[in-house]
Structure 1
Amino acid sequence: MPSPGGKVPEGRMRGKGKIMEKKDLKQEVTDKYSLRGRVFHRIREDILNGKYEDHEELKEVAIGEELGVSRTPVREALRQLELEGLVQIIPNKGAYVVGISASDVRDIYMIRSRLEGLCARWACENITKEQLEELEEIVYLADFHEKKGHFDQLAELDNRFHTILYESCNSKMLEHLLKDYHQYVWLIRQKTLTGSRGKDSNNEHRSIMEAIRDKDPDRAEEIANRHMHSAYDNMVKNGLLEMFN
């Protein structure tokens, strides 16, 4: 309540100032980590999409100018990418792209096979009606585009199917892990959906979707696990791992 004369008591002004100060600090911290996160994901995506060659130097100034940021968030992002094994920082020289090897791809698919199986199992319990309907629609559209030879659209639908599947398990931790591994091999996956693999992959998606719809966790897990093994075997068969050597 205002004091006589209409002035707000000094104590309350100080209290309000402290609250505002805390809010400003919180916003500043949020903005900082949000910026670093955006820079990190952009550089990471560029590495995985083949924008940079293996052993190519990642210049902080050039990347900062391209992204419209200072060198600080770029430097922080490069350090984080070094922890992921995608970048090597050599003192007094710079940061260089390491990329991923054929052995890394094999490991990623074997790990994904287990995680996707678990994801499909949990989705049987947690998937929403809307998510299930979207999986059904994706399978239908993918069948159409595969017959037409629209491989770009097929790759986009493949990506969307897995995104919805990951979200439907209702586990933020598992969803985060799977999306990370999924992104690692995005470039090569776009090349694997040509020919008969596109049809086979969508048939496997249909089987996963049907098992989830039937609420059969054992079947869903087995099919999702096998789906990853089939994708990897197809890469080996077509010599696509050579691009990672």
Structure 2
Amino acid sequence: MADAAANAYTSIRDDIVTGRLNRGEWLREGKLAQELGVSRTPIREALRRLEAEGLVEFAPNRGAQVTAWSALELEDLYQIRARLESLAARLAAARREPEDIAELEATATRMAELAADPNADRDELTELNNHFHRAVVLAARSRHLGTQLRGIIDIPLIARTFHKYAPERIRISAAQHLELVAAIRAGDGDWADALMQAHILAARSVMVPTTNR
């Protein structure tokens, strides 16, 4: 049963984060159980776990649905993310290992290559972007900070930011990633902190106005 609940959690979470399940979409236990080949009990456990992460919300007498974030809530989330992830960048500059730099540089370089093409695959860019930000958090080597940030970075509208960007904005973002790598490699916490905060708040300026209020 535990494995079934864990598998259901992973499957539903992936569908939410990748946008296959839309914000506000109802999550019917019976339908999900049939699709995943399990009983309703592990589905219910998975949905409660996703509720704890803020990805699912329950409405009285109606069931569960994918969380639909308001513009005000997204504004708060970006402000929180800017504070926490800038701290992660600062810690990464102090605690990074050679393999961290190699991973960050490879990801940022690939993003820059894709960003040069106006018709680049947005899904690949999105995956690389999310991987880069998770790699910064891992390089910070702070379990508690990582736990806090995971719930924010994986919110669908935030995770899929690049789908809202114009080509020029993508190029700017990719260049900022390369500069972040340079700051972390140099061990300059102040530089890394300031860069990350500006980077996240720039994303907020694009995303929050496009969200239904």
Range class of TM-score, shorter chain = 0.7 to 0.9
Partner of 2:205, secondary structure, is helix
| Separation in 2, partners of 1:222, 1:74 | 42
Deviation digits for residues 78-126 of structure 1 (CA, Å, limit 9, x no counterpart): 23334437322424x4334442222222111111100111101110122
| Separation in 1, partners of 2:84, 2:134 | 13
Structure 1 residue runs of 5 or longer lacking an equivalent are 1-30
- 1:48 and 1:138, CA in 2 relative to 1: closer, same or farther beyond 3 A? closer
1:168, distance to aligned residue in structure 2 (A): 0.6
1:140, distance to aligned residue in structure 2 (A): 1.8
CA contact (8 A) 1:86 1:100 kept: no
- 1:165 and 1:97, CA in 2 relative to 1: closer, same or farther beyond 3 A? closer
- 1:134 and 1:98, CA in 2 relative to 1: closer, same or farther beyond 3 A? closer
Q: Which one of 60, 63, 88 corresponds to residue 90 of structure 1?
A: 60
Greater Cα shift, 54-63 or 161-170? 54-63
CA contact (8 A) 1:125 1:215 kept: yes
Partner of 2:58, secondary structure, is strand
| Separation in 1, partners of 2:134, 2:128 | 10
| Separation in 1, partners of 2:131, 2:66 | 28
1:218, distance to aligned residue in structure 2 (A): 1.1
Listed as ranges, the matches of 1:70-85 within 5 Å are: 70-83=39-52, 84=54
Compare CA radii of gyration and give the structure with the larger one.
1
Query: Larger RCO: Structure 1 or Structure 2 (Cα < 8 Å, ≥ 6 residues apart)?
Result: 2
What one-letter code is carried by the residue in structure 1 that aligns with 2:136?
L
State the TM-score, normalized to the length of structure 1: 0.76
| 1:143 paired to 2:115 | no
Greater Cα shift, 211-220 or 79-88? 79-88
> Partner of 1:156 in structure 2?
127
What one-letter code is carried by the residue in structure 1 that aligns with 2:132?
F
> Partner of 2:153 in structure 1?
182
Structure 2 residue runs of 5 or longer lacking an equivalent are none
Listed as ranges, the matches of 1:230-245 within 5 Å are: 230-236=202-208, 239-242=209-212, 245=213
Aligned residues: 209
| Separation in 2, partners of 1:217, 1:115 | 14
Deviation digits for residues 65-87 of structure 1 (CA, Å, limit 9, x no counterpart): 21122110111222333443732
CA contact (8 A) 1:197 1:234 kept: no
| 1:127 paired to 2:127 | no
CA contact (8 A) 1:155 1:193 kept: no
| 1:38 paired to 2:7 | yes
| Separation in 2, partners of 1:85, 1:196 | 30
Partner of 1:148, secondary structure, is coil
1:220, distance to aligned residue in structure 2 (A): 0.8
> Partner of 1:196 in structure 2?
168
Listed as ranges, the matches of 1:58-73 within 5 Å are: 58-73=27-42
User: Alignment identity in percent?
Assistant: 31
Deviation digits for residues 126-164 of structure 1 (CA, Å, limit 9, x no counterpart): 211011012112222222111123142322221221121
